[in-house]
Structure 1
Amino acid sequence: MIVKPKIRGFICTTAHPTGCEKNVQNQINYVKKNSKIEGPKKVLVIGSSQGFGLSSRIVSTFGAGADTIGVYFEKPATETKTGSAGWYNNIAFENEAKQAGYYAKSFNGDAFSDEIKNETIDLIKKDFGKIDLVVYSLAAPKRVDPKTGEVYSSVIKPTTDAYTNKTVNTQKGIVSEITVDPAIEEEVEQTIKVMGGEDWKLWIDALENAGVLAEGFTTVAYNYIGPEVTHAIYKNGTIGRAKEHLDQTAYQLSEQLKKIDGRAIVSVNKALVTQSSSAIPVVPLYISILYKVMKEKGLHEGCIEQMYRLYDEHLYTSSPKPLDENGRIRIDDWEMKKEVQDAVASLWKDINTENLEQLTDIEGYRKEFLQIFGFEFDGVDYEADVDPILPEK
């Protein structure tokens, strides 16, 4: 079939098999160009098929020479419909890793479930013995409690007063004002259940109880804080409350892991175009301005650049950069430079529909959004007939 993007809201319902392969290959090529990392050798990535999780797995293998197990939840392809982008990404990664001589296996299922945890542990015992790194990079709108069966749903809302600010329809290029009503307490608690640290700790507890954590073990989870313009909807909103719980969980896990000289740490990452960020009011407009500023200053990074820097400058180096006052890694440091944020703030106050194309990198935003799904990559013939079932090689 000939695959074209079909966009509905903030998702694309199709994905291009060859384009997703290209995305993975581009990231691998970037890592290969850089210095080798003296890092982990047996790695579990929870949420491994897209975004920071996929890039973490690529850096683990092609940067540090690690064997990896991935856990993700994606839609397989059929003869008549494309799979999800993450489905193709995972196949492409595993093909490349195996051809390079590395172990790479994955589970496609609900990472919140006890079943997937147990299956993963069985595979670790069988093939790895012990693991020295767990990357926790899940992004999901809902979570089923494995013990009670209760379904928790996250919301993206402020927690005190209604919040009004500019936002953008990225496809139509229309800047408008949006008001988001505050969450009720039940919505806050459910968001913490989905996006906080509870499941991260359940994973580490299960792995520890199974005796598969190596001496000197590390686990890292990802966070975002952002600038003042997004704080009401993000840092001080329901997501921010969930991420506070994530920070608390990192502290608890670090105490728990001391007996194996282990550590749990949160990395605060840069704002990037992802399926998750595209759904948050205000944030796509902020990212469009941020991209323009950071590209002009030669500071722009994507997922793979961020994850390589995380491993190389923070997690696996004899002289890691200092943590912030809350004990977190900050690879959003370039985004949060004063000169960057001052430039963003200056542009923000003047942005409207008429000057959107001139004052922001909305075109870059649109291109990166489509690239999540395998479109808009140079060197890919998007008029060619492709088999939706990308084979494992």
Structure 2
Amino acid sequence: MIIRPRVRGFVCVTTHPTGCARNVAAQIAHAETEALASPMVDPPRSVLVLGSSTSYGLGSRVALAFGGRAASFGVFLDRPPRPKRPGTAGWYNTAAFEAAAAERGLQSACYNGDAFSNETRDEVVAALRRDFPPVDCVVNSLAAPRRTHPDTGRTFTSVLKPIGAPYSSKTLNTDRAEVTGIELEPATPDEVDATVAVMGGDDWRRWMDALRDGGVLAPSCRTIAYSYIGPELTWPIYRDGTIGQAKADLHRTARELDRELAPAGGGAHIGIMKGVVTQASAAIPVVSLYISILFRIMKEKGDHEGPMEQAMRLFGRKVYGAEGVVSDPHGFIRLDDLEMKPGTQEAVRRAWDAITTETLPDLADFDGYRTEFLRLFGFEVPGVDYGADVDPMVEIPTLVGG
């Protein structure tokens, strides 16, 4: 079948298997090139990545497997393909990863299922115990809009809202390439609690406990979860909003886990990452416009990074580099350092104040933003013939469950 992009809001409802595979191949090439130039120091032997099929989770798995030669196990939730109906992008990304790992003799396996469920945890722990060395690195990169609590069965849905007062700002309508006004009502206390239940640290804690109790966690294990701070102009909807409350809970969990892991030489860390285009960030009001402005400025300065470049710099230089773990006084590993340069943020603020629909092409990199968005789904990838027939039925032989 011939597959074209069909976008609805902030989601592309079609995916291209060949484009996804090309994306993964490019990430692998970057990781291998960087590893040759600057090898990791004492990299992990066995890695578990939660949320492994897209964005920072995929970049982390590629970095540690192809850049550090680690055995890797990925947990993800994606829709498999059916005849005449493509699967989701993460399915094809994972298939490409697993095929490349097999070609290079790297041990890898994966599980497609709800990472929030006890059943998934039990089956993954059993697979790790059976086939993998003790896990000495756990990456938590889960991003989901809802979570069913594994004990109570209650389903929580996260919201993207300010707290305490309504918030007015501007945002980017990506369908129409328009800068529009937006007003968001504040979240209720129940909505705040639900967002923390979905995006906070409880599930991370449950995974670490399950791995430890299942006897598959190496004593010196390091675990990392991802967060974002961003500039002040995004704080009402992000840092000071419902997401910020969830991230604060994630940070508290990191401190608790770190106290438990540190005595044996391990640790728990929060990576503060750069603003990038992901399926999750595309849904956040205000942030999409900020990122499109940021892209133009950072590309002009020559220090723009995507999730793959961020992951390689994180693990190659700030976790498994010559200096060991490099963190700020708050214990955060800062990968937003280039984004938050004063000169960059001053330029963003000037553009933000002046931007309108008419000035969007000059003050932002909307074309670059939209291209990166479509590439998440395998479109706009150089070298792919989108007029050619493609078979959506791609299998993942290393799938152990789900």
TM-score (norm 2): 0.96
**Letter paired with 1:285:** L
Q: 1:335 aligns with which of 329, 334, 339?
A: 339
> Displacement, 1:313?
1.3
Work out whether residues 152 and 190 of structure 1, in 8 Å CA contact, stay in contact via their aligned partners in 2.
Answer: yes
Amino acid at match of 1:367: T
Matched-pair identity in %: 48
2:354 partner SS: coil
Shift of 1:392: 4.7
2:44 aligned partner? 40
Equivalent of 1:278, from 279, 282, 295? 282
SS at match of 2:171: strand
- Whether contact under 8 Å (1:47, 1:138) holds in the other structure is yes
2:400 aligned partner: none
Does the aligned pair in 2 maintain the 1:288–1:362 contact within 8 Å?
yes
Matched, 1:312 2:319: no
Map 1:38-117; keep pairs closer than 5 Å.
Answer: 38=41, 39-117=43-121
SS in 2 for 1:306: helix
Deviation at 1:215, TM superposition (A): 2.7
Q: Are 1:214 and 1:260, in contact at CA under 8 Å, matched by a contact in 2?
A: no
Q: CA deviation at 1:325?
A: 3.0
Distance 2:115 2:75 in 1: 7
Letter in 2 for 1:194: V
Q: Which amino acid aligns with 1:335?
A: E
1:200 corresponds to which residue? 204
Unaligned runs of 5+ in 2: 398-402
Partner residue of 1:30? 30
Unaligned runs of 5+ in 1: none
1:216 deviates by 1.5
After superposition, what is the alpha-carbon deviation per residue over 1:47-95, rounded to whole angstroms, capped at 9, x for unaligned? 0000000010001111000111100000000011000000100000000
Letter in 1 for 2:240: N
**Aligned counterpart, 1:189:** 193
Matches within 5 A, 1:8-19: 8-19=8-19
Partner amino acid, structure 1, of 2:224: V
Residue in 1 that maps onto 2:236: 232
Aligned pair count? 393
CA distance in 2 between counterparts of 1:215 and 1:256 reads 10
TM-score with structure 1 setting the length: 0.98
Asked whether 1:385 is paired with 2:379, we answer: no
Alignment match, 2:124: 120
Q: Specify the alignment match of 2:158 in structure 1.
A: 154
- What does the per-residue CA deviation read over 1:323-359, in whole Å, with 9 as the maximum and x for residues that have no partner? 2232110001000000100000011000000110111
**Which amino acid in 2 is paired with 1:37?**
M
How many Å apart are 1:260 and its aligned residue? Answer: 2.9
The one of 240, 244, 247 equivalent to 2:248 is 244
Report the Cα distance in structure 1 between the residues aligned to 2:394 and 2:338, rounded to whole angstroms.
Answer: 37
Q: Which moved more, 1:277-286 or 1:32-41?
A: 32-41
Equivalent residue, structure 2, for 1:362: 366
1:34 is paired with a residue whose SS is helix
In structure 2, how many angstroms separate the alpha carbons of the residues matched to 1:359 and 1:255? 45
Q: Distance in 2 between matches of 1:389 and 1:344?
A: 44
Deviations 1:159-184 (A, max 9, x none): 11111001110121111110011001
Question: Matches of 2:104 and 2:197 in 1, distance apart?
Answer: 39
Moved over 4 A (4+): none
What is the Cα deviation at residue 149 of structure 1?
A: 0.2
Question: Helix, strand or coil for the counterpart of 1:64?
Answer: coil
Distance in 2 (CA, whole Å) between partners of 1:189 and 1:24 is 36
Q: Does 1:299 align with 2:329?
A: no
Distance 1:259 1:292 in 2: 44
Q: Tell me which amino acid in the other structure corresponds to 1:383.
A: G
Which residue does 1:210 correspond to in 2? 214
In structure 1, what is the Cα distance between the partners aligned to 2:264 and 2:215?
Answer: 11
Residue 210 of structure 1 aligns to which amino acid in structure 2?
G
